[in-house]
Amino acid sequence: MRVLVLGAYGLIGNNVVRAALAANWEVVAFERRSRRKAGLQGLPVEISPGTPSDPDALSRSMAGCDVVFHTLAYNPPNGLRTPQRLVEAREHVTRVLRAAGHARIGRLVYTSAACTIGGADSPGQLPDEWNRYRLGSIPHPFWDAKLLQEEAVLAFGREKLIPVIVVNPAEVLGPNDFDLQAARPLIDIARRGRRQYLPGTASIADAEDVAQGHLKAATLGRPGERYILAGHNLTRREIAATMAYASKRPAPDRPADLHRLERLARFSERVSCLGQPDRLFPLTYQVAAALLPGWYDSSKARQELEYTNRPLLDTCRATLGWLASVRMLR
């Protein structure tokens, strides 16, 4: 089977590349020409350089592929200029879908996010694939951008009669995080320790388990369906404590004042992005996410995709081992 991975340098995409190679699939890795290729060095992959804004490069990369894994979805760089960010999200996904239609791919597995699921129907119930986030519910463009892209992908599958499967990962942690975004809290705890933790709840999954979920979606997933690839539903204090235990550091014991942090983050964002509207500023998203319920029901993926989760402590230890190997814990 010949597969294309869009976003092969990212945490999920890089682990999808490795899982596909382990399954003896032929892998084409699409990445920006400007990106470092450390994450692909030594791997028997065909590198197809390009950018998501180049439709010709996308079409060339997709030609002859049985499956396209689209892990390169647009993410707003900050919480400002929401209307512009939503236009950018639509343009990004439209270019990819046009290329997919032109190349006549066999199947598209699209990496969305669990945030498009929305809240549960009743108290005490975990949200599942029947639930859907309502546009405009959260004053940050990340949520709306994710939902608009996901809906465009599903509509494309219905209109073009191309099998489309959407996977919705929750928070992800694991080795091969060359951007060091997901691993940042673990790095901070391992290097210096941390006294404060964010209140709230989250579902955190191992990147390798999520990658296996992608491969199973390509072979077992039903077209037009969404599959939540969540992890262990824990409090953020429990997650921080597990990271600290794996790092041999004291567990954080002071809850942060989220509402105060939210005000500070919004002010800092406006100052930091003044004159630099596309500057990356993830803190406002992180605080907004911490203010929301973060648990999900992955029963559908477990039943239909044979999805599993390894213990979080194992994930933390494996990630720390990888970080040490790339000298990121000094």
Domain ranges in the chain?
A: 2-177+203-234+294-310
Q: What is the β-pairing status of strands 171-173 and 196-197?
A: unpaired
CB 317 within 8 Å of CB 234: no
Nearest to 121 by CA among 112, 130, 108, 109: 130
- Percent pLDDT > 70 in the chain is 98
Count other Cβ atoms within 10 Å, centred on residue 192: 8
Residue 25 has pLDDT above 70, yes or no: yes
- The confidence score (pLDDT) of residue 35 equals 53
25-29, 53-57, 143-147, 227-231: which range is least confident on average?
A: 53-57
d(CA 174, CA 188): 15
- Mean model confidence pLDDT for the chain: 93
Residue 255 has pLDDT above 70, yes or no: yes
d(CA 286, CA 265): 10
Q: Phi-psi category of 24—alpha, beta or left, where left has phi over 0 and alpha has psi -120 to 50?
A: left
Residue 151 has pLDDT above 70, yes or no: yes
Q: Which residues pair with 166 in a beta bridge?
A: 110, 226
- Per-residue pLDDT, averaged over 43-60, amounts to 89
- The confidence score (pLDDT) of residue 192 equals 86
d(CA 113, CA 233): 16
Amino acid present at 186 = L
d(CA 102, CA 58): 10
Q: Which CATH class for the 2-177+203-234+294-310 domain?
A: alpha beta
pTM for this predicted structure: 0.94
Count other Cβ atoms within 10 Å, centred on residue 288: 20
Comparing 70 with 37, which gets the higher pLDDT?
A: 70
Count other Cβ atoms within 10 Å, centred on residue 169: 27
> What's the first-to-final CA gap in the chain, in angstroms?
41
pLDDT, tens only, 106-130: 999 999 999 999 888 888 899 999 9
pLDDT, tens only, 272-283: 999 999 999 999
